[in-house]
Amino acid sequence: MTPIFVLILSIFTLKEKPTFIQFIGIVVVIFGVIVFFSSLPLVLSDVLGVFLTVLSGIGWATYMIMSRYYLRNNRINVFTPTSYSMSFGSLLLLAAAILSNNIVFPSISGWLIIFWLSIVNTALAFVLWNHALKTLRAYEQSILQNTMLIQITLLACVFLGEVLTPQKILGIMMVFIGALIVQIRPK
């Protein structure tokens, strides 16, 4: 649902509207996700889980829109939103660890893994994400983010031996084609 939130916020706050063909691509991506997941039962009985998922999507969409606004107008550099979000997230994780009374002291190899994940998989990834957000419209990048469905599924097939059903293949193809269409923008 995040791309829908991003699209709505983009239109009303950033005045960035997709072209007709981009809108078609967004619809194709959304239907691709629906096709991919339609064999799974939708459980709405866990109201808290559904609420937190929607709240998370709205929060991420808001972050993308705010970052795009400041980045596209060169009001901040790509390191600023990265630094703020990582610092805030780190403090929240530290508070959660302290409150849970579950403080663990990692080994040297654990610290190396934490260092690698924090620098390469988080800091560098967010710098690249924010750099792309400076160039791409928020809804374009949000749709690209949905291609994680493809990446994760293929990795699950390779490393976990999961099987691709025809329905999942169709969903993946729709997401890929839709994401490709969204990236087409007349000069």
Average pLDDT value for residue range 161-176:
94
For the segment 95-144, what is each residue's pLDDT rounded down to a tens digit? 988 899 878 888 999 999 999 998 988 889 889 998 999 889 999 999 99
Q: What is the pLDDT of residue 43?
A: 65
Q: Outline where the chain has alpha helix (H).
A: 2-9, 20-37, 47-72, 79-99, 108-116, 125-135, 138-145, 148-160, 166-182
Q: Which token pair is 9?
A: 């916020």
Q: What is the pLDDT of residue 111?
A: 93
Query: Residue 135 contacts by C-beta under 8 Å, 6 or more apart in sequence?
Result: none
pTM value is 0.80
Q: What is the pLDDT of residue 82?
A: 85
Q: Are 142 and 3 in contact (CB under 8 A)?
A: yes
For the segment 25-80, what is each residue's pLDDT rounded down to a tens digit? 999 999 999 999 887 776 666 778 888 888 999 999 998 999 899 998 888 888 88
